[in-house]
A and B are shown apart, each in its own frame.
Chain A
Amino acid sequence: MDSLRQEKIQKFEEFVDRRLKPDLVHAIVERDKIFDQQKIFSDLRKNIENLEKNSVTSLRTLVNLGSEVYMQAEVPDTQRIFVDVGLGFHVEFTWSEALKFISLREEKLERQIEEYTRLIASIKAQIKMVCEGIRELLQIPEEKTVEGRVF
Chain B
Amino acid sequence: MGKSEVKGTVTSLSSMFPAEETQKAAKMVEEKLSEKQNEMNQLKEFIADNTSLINLVQKLPDELHHDIMVPFGKAAFFPGRLIHTNEFLVLLGESYYTERTAKQTVEILKRRGKSLESKVDALKAVMQDLKAEASFFDSTASEAAEGLVEIREYEEDNSTKWASQSGSLELETPSVAEADNKMGASEDDDYARIMSRLEELEKEELAAEDNEENLEDEDEDANAVESDSNEDELTKAAEGDGDEDELTKPAFHRKKDEGYSYLDHGQRYSESPRKQLQQFNDKEPIEEMSNKYKHQDLTNQFASTGLTEEPVTKGEISHGRIIQEDTKTLSPSINASAPFEKKSVQTSKSEFDSSKAFTGSIVEHTQNLDKSSVGTNTTSLQSSGSQPSKPVSRFKMQRK
Contact = CB atoms under 8 A, between A and B. Distances in A.
A68 B75 contact: no
B85 A71 contact: yes
A40 B79 contact: no
A81 B76 contact: yes
B70 A73 contact: yes
A103 to B, nearest CB: 14
B360 interface: no
Contacts of A77: 79
B53 A69 contact: yes
Interface residues of A, number: 30
B60 interface: yes
B91 A81 contact: no
Interface string A29-50: 0000000000011011001000
A62 B84 CA distance: 11
A42 to B, nearest CB: 10
Which range holds the interface residue count of chain B? 20 to 34
Contacts of B112: 67
Contacts of B80: 59, 61, 73-76
A65 interface: yes
B391 to A, nearest CB: 62
A84 interface: yes
Contacts of B89: 62, 69-71
A80 B79 contact: yes
Interface string A71-96: 11111111011111000001000000
A132 to B, nearest CB: 37
B76 to A, nearest CB: 5
A98 interface: yes
B90 A44 contact: no
Interface string B91-122: 10000010000000100010010000000000
Nearest to A80: B79
Given A74-B81, A75-B70, A82-B69, A67 B49 contact: yes
A128 B275 CA distance: 69
B117 to A, nearest CB: 15
A9 B83 CA distance: 69
A121 interface: no
Given A63-B71, A66-B49, A71 B87 contact: yes
Nearest to B77: A82
Contacts of B57: 65, 69
Given A61-B80, A69-B109, 16 more contacts: A40-B75, A43-B73, A63-B68, A63-B71, A66-B52, A66-B56, A69-B53, A69-B88, A70-B89, A71-B89, A73-B68, A73-B83, A75-B80, A77-B79, A80-B78, A81-B78
17 contacts: A44-B72, A44-B75, A61-B80, A62-B89, A63-B71, A67-B49, A68-B90, A69-B109, A70-B90, A71-B88, A72-B82, A72-B87, A73-B82, A75-B80, A81-B76, A81-B77, A84-B75
The 3 closest A-B pairs by CB, nearest first: A68-B91, A75-B80, A70-B89
Interface of B: 49-50, 52-53, 56-57, 60, 68-85, 87-91, 97, 105, 109, 112
